[in-house]
Amino acid sequence: MALKLFDLDYDLQADSTTNDFKELYNVDAINQSIDIWLTTPYRIGEGFTNNLLSLVFSDINLKTEDDIRNEILDEMENNYQFLEVQNLRIESDPKNRRIYVSLDWMVKTYEVSGNYSRYWSL
C-alpha cells in the first residue's frame, strides 16, 4: 500500500500553476509536520511543551548540542512513533548565532524516508 500524505504549505504560498494554496505531499508534508512540532514550544494540552526554544536561545556549547539532540530524540520517540530516526546531527555555528539540525527519518511501515534539515537562528 502506497503512502499518500497531504498538507497545505504553512506559509500559505500560492502555487503559480493553480493560483491556489501550495500543496505538500509525503516527504514534504512530514518535514513540515516535524518542523511545526519541534519549533512550537508551547502547545495546547498538558505535557505538550518542549525545552528546545530555551536550549536554542541559550549560549551554545557541546553540552547544549547534546541536550538539543536528546530533546529532539525524546520528542520523536514520544510524539512521532510512526517515524524511525536514522541519524540526527546538530551543529552549532556560534559566529552566526545559529544551529544546524539534520534529521534522517523513515516511516516505519512504509518505504518512505527523508531528511529534515534546517538552520535555527538564535
pLDDT tens for 48-103 read: 555 666 666 566 665 678 888 998 999 899 888 999 999 999 998 878 878 899 99
Q: What is the pLDDT of residue 8?
A: 85
Q: What is the pLDDT of residue 71?
A: 87
Residue 21 lies in a domain: no
Domain that includes residue 44, residue range: 35-121
- Calpha distance 79→114 (Å, rounded): 18
Residue 112 lies in a domain: yes
Residue 5 lies in a domain: no
Question: Grid coordinates 528546545 are at which residue?
Answer: 52
What is the DSSP secondary structure assignment for residue 14, as one 8-state letter? B
Residue 24 lies in a domain: no
Residue 1 lies in a domain: no
Residue 7 lies in a domain: no
For 61, the enclosing helix (H) or strand (E) is none
How many structural domains are present in the chain?
1
Give the three-state DSSP class for 98: strand
Is the pTM higher than 0.95?
no
Q: What are phi and psi of 50, to 5 degrees?
A: -135, 170
What is the DSSP secondary structure assignment for residue 21, as one 8-state letter? B
CA distances from 36 to 10, 114, 118 (A): 9, 16, 12
Residue 27 lies in a domain: no
For the chain, the average pLDDT equals 82
Percent of the chain residues topping a pLDDT of 90:
27
CATH number assigned to the domain comprising residue 115: 3.10.450.40
Angle between helices 26-39 and 62-79 (to 10 degrees): 120
Q: Is the pLDDT of residue 114 over 90?
A: yes
Residue 72 lies in a domain: yes
Q: What is the pLDDT of residue 10?
A: 81
